[in-house]
Amino acid sequence: MTDPASSRPPIDPKAIRVPTGLRDLYPADLNRLRFIQDAWRTTSINFGFDEIDGPTFEDADLYAVKSGQGILNEVFGVFSGKDPKERASLAAGGDAPYALRPEFTPTLARMYAAKAGALPKPTKWFWTQNCFRAERPQRGRLREFYQWNCDIIGDHPPFADAEAIATCIALLQSLGLTSQDVRVKIGDRGVVEQLLMTAGCDYYRVADGVRFVDGRSKLSPAEQARIANELEIDLTAYDEFVAAASKLTPALLGSGNEGQMSVDIHQSGISASVENEVFYTLLKLLGEAGVADWCDIDFSIARGLAYYTGMVFEVHEASGAERAIAGGGRYDGLIELFGGPPTPAVGFGMGDVVLSLVLQDRGLMPSDEVISERLGQRPDVFVISNGTPEADAKIEPVLAACRKATPSAPGLHARRSYKTTKNVGKLLQDASKAAARCALIIESGTAGQLKNLDTQVQRPVLLAGVERAVRAELLAARSAHNAAGQ
């Protein structure tokens, strides 16, 4: 009965804090997250996506397959404290057998590959859970955060690409953001390859060129010049092509040549002609979906191109002040990489942290009260006693009757005050503060008054079957509200 580890120094519980970059979510904090998750879920379902989830940690190899062993230095390792082999391997300087998911895509690819034959074409999946990154926390970047993923697997470009982008924009729109607040920057790996080649890039090293463009912002100007020279890229010409192409808009393209995107760029004495029918059709589809005014063409968007194969996009706050709100693209090789059949796929991810900052900055995060109502948290009835012993004794039985779920109806949200006061006026104030729809003031062992707190209309009720009176009152109020909204 003695603790074998009692020789360790005692722990001071007051010194234990929430781990760096992770969050304590008290009710109002969690409600703001639930509000965002609710919007994610509603948009996903409206666009015909089905929700999935996978394990919170995976075999570390799953992430190494996609990103190389180096990824294991960027994630949180996980091991069983009970497993002597796993402990021994760590003591020998090895990696942990598992890793907390830094993203969901490898799990999605593994899950799709495992059941590819049995899944519909296309398969449209969404996901709204948490990810973990072993990074230094910064504004817009935490070590644990929530992410929304939407993926369309088994459908070819550009139809699915347009659907993915439209889904992402619909979410932003449903939260009150406009095309003035945020911009969707759309690029394409194929077009970047064409621009690179026109700028002189060695034909056999275009893949290296794309990787160079992707990681370029992290390199010094001297280093950039060195690699560009090695790959025979005329960097000045390349940058001018990108700048010129980025000035194009979907609307401009739509009025040009039908059926293909053909843009002639004359800069620095070199002329680049970008032809890409798929990209052109994508822009046309975005117009049909009514979202072309949210989109800019931007061939500097490169998002880890080892993984993306066609269209890539990023959503940014218009001023460019914050990190990307969302990003995604086409990844036609990934399902195969994870052991599945060759399968085209496109998807995107959106985190909760930057999105929340943008909503707050723009005054679009609703108040606690509005979120609480939106999430269905308003009490249906607040039960009050008039202070007599017969009435006091009825509070609990009435609460129980109201909260009881029946096969035909869920229980009601019924609250009471925990204060000792018997002042009915003060208790009614409590009911209003809790945003209750009705108050039931018990006046005897058998009867009371049911007061609609939205209309202030009050009427006598019997306590027997009072839950039915409350339901009828709420239904009448809802019908009146619907009629007014018609």
Residues 342-401 that bind its own copies (CB under 8 A): 376-377, 379, 393, 396-397, 399-401
Stretch that binds its own copies, among 83-91, 184-192, 257-265, 341-349 (CB under 8 A): 83-91
Phi, psi of 7 (to 5 degrees): -80, -10
Residue 36 or residue 263: which is nearer to its own copies going by CB? 36
In sequence order, what are the beta bridge partners of 385?
Answer: 442
Does residue number 145 form part of the binding site for its own copies (CB under 8 A)? no
| Number of residues binding to its own copies, judged by CB under 8 A | 128
Footprint (CB under 8 A) of its own copies, residues 319-338: 337-338
Out of 43, 105, 149, 385, the only residue in the binding site for its own copies (CB under 8 A) is: 43
Q: Buried b / exposed e across 99-134, counting CB within 10 Å, b at 16+?
A: bbbbbbbbbbbbbbbeebeebeebbbbbbbbebbbe
In whole angstroms, how far apart are CA 59 and each of 63, 73, 98, 230, 339?
8, 15, 4, 38, 15
In sequence order, what are the beta bridge partners of 348?
Answer: 150, 328
CB 120, CB 153: distance < 8 Å: no
Sequence-ordered list of residues with C-beta below 8 angstroms from that of 111, at least 6 positions apart, any chain = 52, 54
Does residue number 58 form part of the binding site for its own copies (CB under 8 A)? yes
Which DSSP state fits 293?
Answer: G
Stretch that binds its own copies, among 40-48, 239-247, 275-283, 447-455 (CB under 8 A): 40-48
Cβ-in-10-Å burial (0-12, 13-18, 19+) of 246 comes to: middle
Q: In angstroms, what is the minimal distance from the CB of 45 to its own copies?
A: 5
Out of 14, 217, 218, 269, the only residue in the binding site for its own copies (CB under 8 A) is: 14
211 sits in which H/E element: helix 206-215
Q: In angstroms, what is the minimal distance from the CB of 98 to its own copies?
A: 6
Q: Buried b / exposed e across 291-320, counting CB within 10 Å, b at 16+?
A: bbebbbbbbbbbbebebbbbbbbbbbbeee
Does residue number 452 form part of the binding site for its own copies (CB under 8 A)? no
Out of 289, 318, 424, 435, the only residue in the binding site for its own copies (CB under 8 A) is: 289
Residue 150 or residue 245: which is nearer to its own copies going by CB? 150
Residue 213 or residue 244: which is nearer to its own copies going by CB? 213
Footprint (CB under 8 A) of its own copies, residues 410-429: 410-416, 418
Cα distance between residue 312 and residue 338, in whole Å: 21
Residue 124 or residue 263: which is nearer to its own copies going by CB? 124
Residue 264 or residue 288: which is nearer to its own copies going by CB? 288
Footprint (CB under 8 A) of its own copies, residues 165-194: 166, 170, 173-174, 176
Out of 3, 217, 367, 456, the only residue in the binding site for its own copies (CB under 8 A) is: 3
Out of 85, 247, 266, 404, the only residue in the binding site for its own copies (CB under 8 A) is: 404
Amino acid, res. 97: P
Footprint (CB under 8 A) of its own copies, residues 217-276: none
Cα distance between residue 86 and residue 63, in whole Å: 18
CB 129, CB 147: distance < 8 Å: yes
Which SS3 state, helix, strand or coil, does residue 460 take? strand
Out of 285, 311, 345, 439, the only residue in the binding site for its own copies (CB under 8 A) is: 285
Does residue number 477 form part of the binding site for its own copies (CB under 8 A)? no
Does residue number 56 form part of the binding site for its own copies (CB under 8 A)? yes
Does residue number 460 form part of the binding site for its own copies (CB under 8 A)? no
